[in-house]
Chains A and B, each alone.
Chain A
Amino acid sequence: MQISSMFDAASLAQGLAKETRSERMEQRVKPSMKQIIEYAASLSGTDTSEFVSTAAFQAALDKVGALSRTQLDSEDAARFFAALERRPEPNQAMKDLMAGYDEGMDEDA
């Protein structure tokens, strides 16, 4: 799993350990999917519910990690980094948009 610096895994794990309450989550799956999941759970020596929630949580963490860190393949990367290096100026549409910005709109709490 990729955890970026923006992702505070330690505090998340701490919070999880303190939680005693649990909530119900249900989803429908195809019979053959269910069969394979149950089989995989038994191979892992755990019950289906535990197996599913652990796997889904892991997938969720991976997703959040992926959000924080995006890898580009070489073609996309070349295009992206070249654009950054060009340091483009704002175009006319952008200038017009931001001309309508009202300084008083943003309030800090």
Chain B
Amino acid sequence: MSAFPIKVQPLSARHQPSIQAFTCGVKFMDDYLRQGYALEESNFARLFIAVDAADKTQVTGYYALHMMHIEARQTPAPLSRNLHRDAVVGAAHIVNFAVRKDLQGRGIGTDLFRSALKRIKGISKDVDTWAVVLDALNEDAERFYRRFGFDTLASNTRRLYLPVSAIA
């Protein structure tokens, strides 16, 4: 648990007032959160909101999960029977990690990371989900994710993946 205790809840109407004032310092991430309802309605992603454990009306951060498919442009070398014959697998994409600017550096981001991994591990028991995918915002973030076994998904991007078996 972090120095600043949080709870993580699926996005709901009661988060709305606090979302309007939320800023993490990265505009596209703030915009993404404010678009939350529209995104959920179009079935793009599910948002999970961090709130202050002591005052659950206060939004302190968020992440979003989006199911995606990863496939080979051409079928690669022989695959075991465990994997889909067409080499298409489901993956859970963690879209953003954002922490309210004035609360950064207190472990909230790490707690959100734990929450997302736990949730994805749970999903993977029921649905075809083979990997976690996320995008590192910068080199520091990339180094952070690599420590846990994440590797670059496509050689020319900061998009990283981890097989779900590697989630503790």
A contact residues vs B (CB 8 Å cutoff): 4, 6-8, 11-12, 15, 64, 67-81, 83-91, 93-95, 97-102, 104-109
With A105-B7, A106-B119, A107-B7: A91-B72 Cβ-Cβ less than 8 Å = no
With A12-B42, A81-B76: A109-B70 Cβ-Cβ less than 8 Å = no
Interface bracket on B: 35 or more
B87 contacts A81, CB within 8 Å?
yes
Interface centre among A64, A78, A97 (most CB of B within 10 A): A97
A69 contacts B69, CB within 8 Å?
yes
B71 contacts A71, CB within 8 Å?
yes
Closest residue of B by beta carbon distance from A75:
B155
A87 contacts B163, CB within 8 Å?
yes
Within 8 Å by CB of A97, from B6, B8, B73, B168, lies B168
B138 interface contact, C-beta 8 A:
no
Q: How far is the CA of A27 from the CA of B45 in the complex (A)?
A: 28
Closest residue of B by beta carbon distance from A71:
B73
Q: How far is the CA of A47 from the CA of B144 in the complex (A)?
A: 49
A85 contacts B149, CB within 8 Å?
no
Closest residue of B by beta carbon distance from A73:
B73
A67 contacts B87, CB within 8 Å?
no
With A6-B66, A105-B115, A107-B9: A77-B72 Cβ-Cβ less than 8 Å = yes
B35 interface contact, C-beta 8 A:
no
Q: Could you list 22 A-B pairs, sorted by A, with CB under 8 Å?
A: A4-B68, A69-B69, A69-B71, A70-B69, A76-B153, A77-B73, A77-B76, A80-B131, A81-B79, A85-B79, A90-B167, A90-B168, A91-B148, A94-B166, A97-B113, A100-B1, A100-B110, A100-B114, A101-B114, A101-B115, A106-B115, A107-B9
Contacts of B68 on A, CB cut-off 8 Å? 4, 6, 67-70
B98 CB to closest chain A CB (Å) equals 17
Closest residue of A by beta carbon distance from B38:
A15
With A68-B68, A70-B68: A76-B8 Cβ-Cβ less than 8 Å = no
Contacts of A7 on B, CB cut-off 8 Å? 42-44
A96 CB to closest chain B CB (Å) equals 9
B9 CB to closest chain A CB (Å) equals 5
Contacts of A12 on B, CB cut-off 8 Å? 42
